[in-house]
Amino acid sequence: MDASDEQRIINRVLKGDTNAFGILVKRYQKPIFNLMYRMSGSLDEAAELTQEAFIKAYEKLEHFQPGKKFFPWLYAVGINHAKDLIRKNKRHLYSEENSEKLPELSHLSDQQDSMNDSLDFQQIEKALVGMPLKYREAIILRYREEMSMRDIAQALQISVSAAKMRVSRGLEMLRRSLKGGGG
């Protein structure tokens, strides 16, 4: 789905076709759920926060700027919602102490490769959990979500140069952590 398809769907929603929003939910629920899981550390809370984020996005859809990409805007709505709730409830962000095994291990046909990949994935996830949220999110947006620096800047509501700096510093933290952890 490209930006013009998304804009057509958004226009349909704004004209009263509430069911069209379901297309956007289906397309983006996994990355928004993953965001909420990283923020909360709880699968149940992540599911609830994901639903609330989509409700907020639906309510604010008239503020979406045509010509922009939808996902960075949605991501910003989601991350702001999660941060507001965390501040309100005085909860701590997801950390190593409350970590569960993260979903999304890659499944390869060769069992040995799969096991090595799983160990690598777990080391990377552990290193990501240990870094400050602003760097973690920049790394995840760049490499897991494959977003451009401009889209990362929009999603995190920072300048493009700040997005580049966060990705660069996040990668350096990740490298140091993996070296120190035997990776």
State the average pLDDT for the chain: 81
Q: List the single range of 62-66, 75-79, 111-115 with lowest mean pLDDT.
A: 111-115
What is the tens place of the pLDDT at every residue in 80-103?
Answer: 888 887 777 755 454 443 444 444
Burial, 6: exposed, middle or buried (Cβ in 10 Å; 0-12, 13-18, 19+)? buried
Residue 76 contacts residue 55 (beta carbons within 8 Å): no
Domain boundaries, the chain: 1-95, 118-183
d(Cα 80, Cα 74) in Å, to the nearest integer? 10
* Fold entry, domain 1-95: Rna Polymerase Sigma Factor; Chain: A (1.10.1740)
32 — pLDDT class (breaks 50, 70, 90): very high
Model confidence pTM above 0.85: no
**CATH 3.40.50.9100 is held by the domain 118-183:** no
**143-166: pLDDT as tens digits:** 888 899 999 999 999 999 999 999
